[in-house]
Structure 1
Amino acid sequence: MTDNFNKLNSHLEAIANAMPDPIFVMGQDGTYLDIIGGKERSLYADGQSLIGRKYQDVLPEKMAERFLKVVQKAIQTGRLNEIEYQLADGDVDGIESPRVTEGQWYEARVYPIDSETYGQPAVIWLAINITERKHMEEQIEHLSSNDPLTNLYNRDYFLDIVDEEINKAKLNNKPVSLCKINLDCFKRITDAYGHEMGDKAILTAAHAIKNVVKELGYIGRMSCDQFMMVLPEVKAVDAFRITKLAQETISAQKIKLGNNETTCLTSHAGVTDLRQETEHSEDLFKRVTTAIKALEGTREVTKIL
């Protein structure tokens, strides 16, 4: 019987020590009581130095409070609890690791231990490094909201931003302006020199607009050669100046077309702002589009409507 027991313990110990993900034993009083596994050094630092120390002694204050609440909830309810958190090795006092981490993401599964082996109610805290998954989720989210060529917001996501900013403006009684810039020469460049040069023209215009708008608002690519800007807390007269500067910056760029040929980009733009409490985004869209149409056949390039 003793031999079988020793053999079983030996097997369990070998399995536990071979586990790539760490299992912490966390006490109800906020103490790291034990650690099992966690041998994969490409994902985890060595946490043995944490044993016997309390969360508040080794973790940032808010993180320590959060950990303790999760542990105590699991003990009180007797149920599985789950938590996601971001933590860098440098955030944990006493952890030394050759890995350079700006903050790894972890998913923990926390479950109470029935045994009184550790002298107090405790839980097992299985920590799994999910940083790669988080990065993938961020990339998917980015692709769903951004135009792949210019990295500006895509049409659908931008329209949601406009609705949100208009609602904020109404709630806070603040101005908000909408601006639209249409490139005049995109089709000509694409027809004569191909889509690669067309993409170059779009990127040049997008870069110029971003350099002007910066933190003043949000920019969206509405179609192949049309851009929009929503400028929170900016009146139409100021939005006109910003849009005019964006157009001037666009036209100042030279695009090499090949055979030593170059061209500059020209555009027309419309500007409007929120006028009445009852207005919605559709009303502003119509006005900026009407403003641009009113410029056709004239020498003007920007118009407030």
Structure 2
Amino acid sequence: MPFSREELHSILSALPDPAFVLTRSGRYAAIFGGSDARYYHDGSSLIGQSLFDVIAHEKARWFTLQVREALDSRALRIVEYSLSGNDVKGLEDSGPDAPIWFEGRIQALDFLVDGEDAVVWIASNITEKNAVEKRLRIQSETCPLTGVFNRRKLLEVLAQHFELFTRNRIPTSVLMFDIDNFKTINDHLGHQVGDHVLVAVADVCRQELRKCDYIARLGGDEFVVLMPATRHDHGIIVADRLRHLISSRLEETFKRICTISGGLTEFSPPDVSYEAVLRRADDGLYRSKRGGRDQVSVV
């Protein structure tokens, strides 16, 4: 049976997630739902205001663009976005400590609202979902002991940068190194100390490398550093600095001489895959071992 106007309004008001009616110009024409008080506050004060009255300019421009694209395509548009205290006017000091993430489902309406095209925008709070996904992604990509990338993530990153190199010839250096006589450390001092040594090595790399560099534990005591936009002549400077700093940190912390040996190479036009680059870096590492350890060989 048909619902009365009051019943329809009651149904819409009971929606757990808020549904905003936004016009092409970015004006809040109506708001329904948002009854889940765990995630949403009463938004009735927004009605009649513009996105630019409520939200920081660049963010408001983005929202307006999404509305217009949904209106022009007439198709359901799904977007993910965040809102922080700095994004909402008047909340700079009293807003949430961390950004809140939403999924927006935007659909054009087939009638005018106050003389304008309009959409219904349903906003669902997905902050908890995103946090779970982020934790799972981090767990799948990082070494649980050292916190650096694991082998799987390293190979993924190497493949991406090798593709960039083949297209654009962006110079990229790769350093592979391990801890000299690591088995002796484990045998004489115990595996717990060995684990602390690995963590200390990873910490030095994180502190000294650029944000655009990648550090990964390949396995055991073997690490790989990927340095984008870096030729081998600069890469060896970075590698030797790491070698000295790691040795100093380990000697200071564990009161014994600990060194690393490595091999450094650069992506090269004859390379047919990133595997060839890794093999060459591995050859350099063993050249350093044969040469007496505590050194980095360029290959």
> What TM-score range do you get, normalising by the shorter chain?
0.7 to 0.9
- For residues 14 and 74 of structure 2, the distance between their equivalents in structure 1, rounded to whole angstroms, comes to 28
> Among 222, 228, 231, which residue is 1:226 paired with?
222
3-state SS in 2 of match to 1:151: coil
Determine if contact 1:219/1:227 at 8 Å carries over to the other structure: yes
- For residues 134 and 196 of structure 2, the distance between their equivalents in structure 1, rounded to whole angstroms, comes to 27
The letter of the residue matching 1:301 is: D
Q: Tell me the residue number matched to 1:282.
A: 275
Following superposition of structure 1 onto structure 2, how do residues 68-107 of structure 1 map, counting pairs within 5 Å? 68-72=64-68, 74=70, 79-93=75-89, 99-107=95-103
3-state SS in 1 of match to 2:192: helix
Identity %: 28
Q: Tell me the residue number matched to 1:265.
A: 258
Residue 27 of structure 2 is aligned to residue 23 of structure 1:
no
> Among 176, 181, 190, which residue is 2:177 paired with?
181
3-state SS in 2 of match to 1:263: coil
3-state SS in 1 of match to 2:289: coil
Q: Deviations over 1:13-63 (max 9, x none)?
A: 555445442222223443211112324454234322221122344334454
Residue 205 of structure 2 is aligned to residue 213 of structure 1:
no
Most deviating of 203-212 and 36-45: 36-45
- For residues 250 and 95 of structure 1, the distance between their equivalents in structure 2, rounded to whole angstroms, comes to 45
Q: Deviations over 1:78-115 (max 9, x none)?
A: 55433322222442336799542442111122334556
The letter of the residue matching 2:286 is: K
After superposition, the Cα gap between the structure-2 partners of 1:197 and 1:16, relative to the gap in structure 1 and judged at 3 Å, is: same
> Among 190, 202, 206, which residue is 2:198 paired with?
202
Q: CA deviation at 1:167?
A: 3.9
Q: CA deviation at 1:207?
A: 1.2
Q: Tell me the residue number matched to 2:289.
A: 296
CA RMSD of aligned residues (A): 3.3
- For residues 300 and 41 of structure 1, the distance between their equivalents in structure 2, rounded to whole angstroms, comes to 63
Contiguous gaps of at least 5 residues in structure 2: none
Could you state the TM-score of these two structures normalised by the residue count of structure 1?
A: 0.80
Q: Deviations over 1:250-305 (max 9, x none)?
A: 22124799xxx84342221112223x412142332222222222233543422222
Most deviating of 201-210 and 18-27: 18-27
Determine if contact 1:24/1:32 at 8 Å carries over to the other structure: yes
Most deviating of 84-93 and 218-227: 84-93
Determine if contact 2:218/2:224 at 8 Å carries over to the other structure: yes
Contiguous gaps of at least 5 residues in structure 1: none
